[in-house]
Amino acid sequence: MTKIRIAIQKSGRLNEESLQILKDCGISIDNGKDQLKASSRNFPMEVFYLRNGDIPQYLRDGVVDIAIIGENVLIEKGEDISVAEKLGFSKCKVSLAVPKSVKYNSVKDFEGKRIATSYPNTVLNYLKEKGVKADLHIISGSVEIAPNIGLADAICDIVSSGSTLFKNNLKEVEVMLKSEAVLAVSPKINEERKELLEKLQFRIQSVLRARGSKYVLLNAPNDKLDGILKLLPGMRSPTVLPLADEGWSSVHTVINKDKFWEVIDELKKAGAEGILVCPIEKMVL
């Protein structure tokens, strides 16, 4: 049986969130401790656990067909590799940072400066666009210590919460790009595996829609129903059902998670009562 081969990060937050989305897609992975390759029990898939920075080359060579990888890594090492789906998790920024004591005016301040980074292509392309030339020190691993030991004047690195910069007495001054996990595709994927990719994408899209939505049930007096319905979105339109109590209806709909609290506040003002909010496991359109 043909199996689609997917690469995910060997360890860390991206590994955990990648396995979680596969699990939410109903795919069970038989992976033991320290395994570098595992198979699914219920979907034609093999999972390869790889170093994040190595994944673009594995895709390029056709060793794996697809990968869940940080968009920032593709920008640095795999701009020739296509993205099938943005996944909405493991969000971060790739930023330039300087010591807190340094007064910063603009990106022109990096002219002639020493920048420590493990993202040389990203930095060079960004500075070239800005007409700035700097001296790069390429470091594999933690770069935050570089200014403290005199190795560099600034750093370029991934920023999530900013706590690592704070601990190393640094401040973020330029956001070069924003990144999230993506589903990347090998240029050498064959037709059989493309069909499996389409099936996987269908499941992923259903999971992502559900993650971004809430199912809402509420009670509404019929004389206020029109005003309440105007506030409500829905996959097609809200569902309205009569209640046992005369003059009342039950309204069911789906609300975007990002707009949830704003809509709820408006519904209460419009006369909605007994508002019940439920998570959605899957949403198939």
Mean pLDDT over residues 120-128, rounded?
A: 95
Confidence of residue 190 (pLDDT cuts 50, 70, 90): very high
Q: For the chain, what is the mean pLDDT?
A: 92
Axis crossing angle, helix 13-24 with helix 191-211, rounded to the nearest 10: 90
Mean pLDDT over residues 191-200, rounded?
A: 96
All residues at 6 or more sequence positions from 207 whose CB lies less than 8 Å from its CB, including other chains: 21, 24, 25, 282
- CA separation for the pair 137, 56 (Å, rounded): 22
Q: CA 145 from chain center: how many Å?
A: 27
Query: Is residue 72 within 8 Å of residue 158, measured between CB atoms?
Result: yes
Ordered DSSP codes for 170-192: EEEEEEEEEE-EEEEE-TT--HH
Confidence of residue 32 (pLDDT cuts 50, 70, 90): low
Is the model's pLDDT at 13 over the cut of 90? Answer: no
Q: What is the pLDDT of residue 33?
A: 61
Q: What is the pLDDT of residue 234?
A: 59
Q: Tell me the domains of the chain and their CATH numbers.
A: 4-88+180-210 (3.40.190.10), 92-179 (3.40.190.10), 213-279 (3.30.70.120)
* Amino acid letter, residue 3: K
pLDDT tens per residue, range 88-115:
999 999 999 999 999 999 999 999 999 9
* Alpha helical stretches, state H, the chain: 13-24, 55-61, 71-77, 120-129, 163-167, 191-211, 225-231, 260-270
Is the model's pLDDT at 235 over the cut of 70? Answer: no
Residue with tokens 């007096």: 221
